[in-house]
Amino acid sequence: MKKHQKEIWLIDDSAASNLLNQKLFNQLDPKLRVKTFTIAEDALNSFRGAKDEVSTIFLDLNMPAMDGWDFIEEFKAMKQNSTIETRLILLSTSMNPKDKKRASADDAIEEYLQKPLEVNQIIELLSY
């Protein structure tokens, strides 16, 4: 069964990664709204003002200024005052077992995926 996805956000300091992932999503569903951010703070500011539901956020861990872990802490604090339901999926090149363990211990994080993102992962996660 296909779930309705209102909007997908890709947060990664690599514009090339964002572009490739955006193309994957749009190949599966050309009507899907995909927003990309290369700066985590910009995504948080957009989330503060979001009126529509952000269905799923794919977040890179290793970014300059605000990394993925810092984003998660800010995001969790903001979600306490929001009615927007959002799934948070980490998408990282990190193979550090400490990152995986930390992610699995955090209830805000639904999945921890290794880059690159693959079509079969998108299909499974978004129920296409």
32-58 mean pLDDT: 89
Helices vs strands, H then E, count in the chain: 5, 5
Residue 1 lies in a domain: no
Assigned token pair, 18? 């964002």
CATH code where residue 20 lies: 3.40.50.2300
- 86 assigned to some structural domain: yes
Structural domain includes residue 2: no
pTM to 2 decimals? 0.91
Report which listed range, 32-41, 77-86, 117-126, is most confident: 32-41
Please indicate, yes or no, if residue 37 is contained in any of the structural domains.
yes
Pairing of strands 87-92, 109-114: parallel
Q: Is residue 25 part of a domain?
A: yes
Contact (Cβ atoms closer than 8 angstroms) between residue 72 and residue 59: yes
Collapse the DSSP code of 34 into the 3-class scheme (helix H, G, I; strand E, B; otherwise coil) and give the result: strand
When the pLDDT of each residue in the chain is averaged and rounded to a whole number, the result is 89
Mean pLDDT value of segment 33-41: 96
Question: What domain count does the chain have?
Answer: 1
Q: Check if the beta carbon of residue 16 is closer than 8 Å to that of residue 23.
A: no
Q: Is 23 part of any domain?
A: yes
Domain around 35: 8-126
Instruction: Return the pLDDT at 49.
Output: 78
